[in-house]
C-alpha cells in the first residue's frame, strides 16, 4: 500500500474513533458543567438575596444613571462570578435592545502580575467588546498612555460600563517595600475616579470580587474613599444547596446515564470542602469524563469517588511543590501509618511516624534528620493544610505527644508522594514496610 493510502487510512481511523467518542459520550451538553459558564436564571440556587441586591444595584444602568461600585466577597465557589456575570448579561441584552450603549469589561487578576499588565488587559478586553483595534503596544509605552487609550475606547463606544475585577486581591503588583501601595489599590482609585475627573464621557462602575473579607482594610485611604462600594456577601453553600445546583445541571448528561446517588455524593464531597460549588460541578463533570474514558455508558458512584481521588491527588501535587525532599519523606512516613495499619487508626502518633521515617531513611540510604526536625517539617505540612495536629497525653509520667490527622485521604497523599519523589524502591519492600509500621504501632499502644 502506498504512503498516501496509509496516511488516508490512518486519517479515517482517527476520524472514526473521534466520532465514536462523541456519539457514545455520556454527555449531552458538557458546557453546562463549566463552572464559569454564564447560565440561565432558573439554574441559580441559594443566592436569592445576593441576586436581588445586584439587580437593584445594576438597574440604574437601564435608566441612564450610574450604578454604584460593588464589592462581592466570600469563599471560592460561592457564586460571586456566577451571579455578577448572569445579571450583567441580562443588563447587556436589555440595554442593547433599547439602543443604550452598555458594556461589560472583565478581567481575572489571578495571573496578572502588575498594575501595568492589568491596565493593558483592560484595554484589550474593552477593544474586543467595542470591536476596535487595541491601539497601543503591550510594552514600550507608559501605563498612563495605556490608561488613556482605555478611557478613549470607553468614551467613544459606551454610554455606561461596568468593570469586573475578579480575584482582585491577587493583584498586588511588585511591592518592593511592605508599605508600598498594592496594585489593586491604585487601579481601583483610577477607575472609580475616572468619571469624576472627566477622563471618561459616560458612567463607569467597578465590581471587585474577592475571597478576603478584610480586603477594604488593605486599600489606600484615597482608594477606599473613591471606591466606596456596596457590599454583597456570599456565604458557603450547604450540601442541600449544592445538590440543587447539580440537579439543575443534570441535563448536561444524556437521559438515563446517571445512577441514583451520583448527585448527592458529589454534593457531599464538595460540602466537606467549604461548600465550594465549583468543586461540586468539577466532580460531577469529572465523573462523566472517567466514564467516557473507560468506554462505559453509565455514570456510577465509583466514578465520583475516583474523580474525588483525582482531585485530591492534583491538589496534593500542587501543594507539595513547595516542600523539600526531606519534608515530603516525613509526610510520606506519616501518611503510610494509617494506610498500612491493621488497627482502625484515625490519628497518627508522631512517635510512631518518626520511627517509620527513620526506617525509611535507612532503607532509601537518605539523610536521617532529628526528631525536632521531623516535627518542624510536619508543622510546615500543617500550614499547607495536609494535616491537623493535636497534643495527647500518654498517661501518668509519660508526657505528651502530637497526633496528626490528614485533611485528605492519606492513601492519596502517600500515592502522590511516592510518584513525586524517589520512592519507587519502597514498592519492592511493601510487606517489610507494613510489618515495621504495625510493629511500631503495637509497641506504642501496647507499651502505654
Sign of CA dihedral 109, 111, 115, 120: negative
pLDDT in tens, the chain (448 residues): 556 666 666 665 665 555 555 568 999 999 999 877 878 888 888 899 999 999 999 999 998 889 999 999 998 889 999 999 999 999 999 998 988 889 999 999 988 989 999 999 999 999 999 999 999 999 999 999 999 999 999 999 999 999 999 999 999 887 665 567 889 999 999 999 887 777 888 889 999 999 988 899 888 889 999 999 999 999 989 999 999 999 999 999 999 999 999 999 999 998 887 678 988 999 999 999 999 999 999 999 999 999 998 888 887 777 777 788 899 899 999 999 999 999 988 899 999 999 999 999 998 888 999 999 999 999 988 888 889 999 876 554 456 788 999 988 898 888 888 876 666 667 778 889 999 999 999 998 876 5
Cα-to-chain-centroid distance, residue 204 = 29
The confidence score (pLDDT) of residue 397 equals: 45
- Give yes or no on whether 240-318 and 322-446 have one common fold: no
The confidence score (pLDDT) of residue 111 equals: 87
- Residue 406: closest CA among 428, 392, 425, 385: 385
The confidence score (pLDDT) of residue 200 equals: 82
**What is the rounded distance in angstroms from the CA atom of residue 335 to the CA atom of residue 411?**
7
Question: 409 and 309 in contact (C-beta within 8 Å)?
Answer: yes
Arch. (CATH architecture) of 47-233: 3-Layer(aba) Sandwich (3.40)
Cα-to-chain-centroid distance, residue 4 = 47
- Residue 219 in 3-state DSSP? coil
The confidence score (pLDDT) of residue 399 equals: 62
Q: Spell out a b/e string for 241-251, using b for 16 or more CB atoms within 10 Å of the CB, else e.
A: bbbbbbebbee
The confidence score (pLDDT) of residue 188 equals: 95
Q: Look at the block and give the residue holding cell 441576586.
A: 51
Question: 244 and 280 in contact (C-beta within 8 Å)?
Answer: no
CATH number among 3.30.930.10, 3.40.1010.10, 3.90.550.10, 1.10.10.10, domain 322-446: 1.10.10.10
Arch. (CATH architecture) of 240-318: Orthogonal Bundle (1.10)
Question: 317 and 416 in contact (C-beta within 8 Å)?
Answer: yes
Does the pTM surpass 0.75? The reply is: no
Question: 39 and 83 in contact (C-beta within 8 Å)?
Answer: no
Domain ranges in the chain?
47-233, 240-318, 322-446
- Residue 105: closest CA among 154, 43, 49, 139: 154
The confidence score (pLDDT) of residue 247 equals: 95
Amino acid at each position: 500500500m502506498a504512503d498516501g493510502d496509509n496516511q488516508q487510512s490512518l486519517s479515517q481511523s482517527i476520524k472514526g474513533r473521534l466520532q465514536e467518542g462523541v456519539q457514545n459520550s455520556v454527555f449531552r451538553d458538557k458546557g453546562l458543567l463549566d463552572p464559569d459558564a454564564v447560565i440561565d436564571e432558573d439554574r441559580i440556587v441559594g443566592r436569592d438575596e445576593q441576586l436581588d441586591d445586584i439587580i437593584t444595584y445594576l438597574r440604574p444602568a437601564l435608566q441612564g444613571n450610574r450604578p454604584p461600585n460593588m464589592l462581592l466577597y466570600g469563599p471560592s465557589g460561592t457564586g460571586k462570578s456566577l451571579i455578577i456575570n448572569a445579571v450583567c448579561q441580562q443588563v447587556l441584552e436589555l440595554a442593547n435592545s433599547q439602543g443604550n450603549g452598555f458594556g461589560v469589561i472583565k478581567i481575572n487578576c489571578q495571573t496578572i502580575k502588575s498594575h501595568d499588565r492589568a491596565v493593558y488587559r483592560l484595554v484589550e478586553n474593552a477593544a474586543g467588546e467595542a470591536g476596535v483595534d487595541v491601539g497601543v503596544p503591550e510594552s514600550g509605552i507608559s501605563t498612563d498612555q495605556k490608561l488613556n487609550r482605555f478611557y478613549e475606547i470607553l468614551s467613544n463606544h459606551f454610554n455606561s460600563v461596568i468593570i469586573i475585577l475578579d480575584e482582585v486581591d491577587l493583584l498586588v503588583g511588585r511591592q518592593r517595600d511592605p508599605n508600598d501601595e498594592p496594585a489593586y489599590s491604585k487601579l481601583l482609585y483610577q477607575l472609580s475616579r475616572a468619571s469624576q475627573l472627566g477622563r471618561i464621557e459616560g458612567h463607569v462602575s467597578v465590581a471587585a470580587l474577592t475571597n478576603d473579607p478584610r480586603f477594604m482594610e488593605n486599600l489606600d485611604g484615597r482608594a477606599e474613599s473613591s471606591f466606596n462600594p456596596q457590599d454583597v456577601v456570599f456565604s458557603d453553600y450547604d450540601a442541600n444547596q449544592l445538590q440543587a445546583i447539580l440537579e439543575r445541571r443534570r441535563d448536561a448528561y444524556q437521559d438515563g446515564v446517571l445512577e441514583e446517588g451520583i448527585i448527592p455524593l458529589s454534593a457531599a464531597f464538595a460540602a466537606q470542602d467549604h461548600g465550594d460549588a465549583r468543586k461540586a460541578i468539577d466532580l460531577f463533570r469529572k465523573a462523566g469524563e472517567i466514564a467516557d474514558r473507560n468506554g462505559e455508558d453509565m455514570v456510577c458512584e465509583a466514578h465520583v469517588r475516583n474523580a474525588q481521588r483525582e482531585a485530591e491527588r492534583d491538589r496534593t501535587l500542587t501543594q507539595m511543590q513547595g516542600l523539600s525532599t526531606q519534608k515530603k519523606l516525613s509526610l510520606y512516613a506519616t501518611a503510610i501509618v494509617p494506610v498500612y495499619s491493621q488497627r482502625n487508626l484515625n490519628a497518627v502518633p508522631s512517635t510512631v511516624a518518626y520511627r517509620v521515617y527513620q526506617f525509611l531513611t535507612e532503607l532509601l540510604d537518605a539523610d536521617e534528620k532529628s526528631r525536632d526536625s521531623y516535627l518542624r517539617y510536619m508543622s510546615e505540612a500543617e500550614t499547607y493544610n495536609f494535616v491537623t495536629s493535636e497534643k495527647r497525653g500518654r498517661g501518668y509520667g509519660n508526657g505528651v505527644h502530637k497526633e496528626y490527622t490528614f485533611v485528605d485521604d492519606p492513601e492519596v497523599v502517600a500515592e502522590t508522594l511516592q510518584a513525586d519523589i524517589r520512592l519507587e524502591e519502597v514498592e519492592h519492600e511493601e510487606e517489610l514496610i507494613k510489618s515495621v509500621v504495625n510493629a511500631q504501632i503495637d509497641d506504642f499502644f501496647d507499651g502505654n
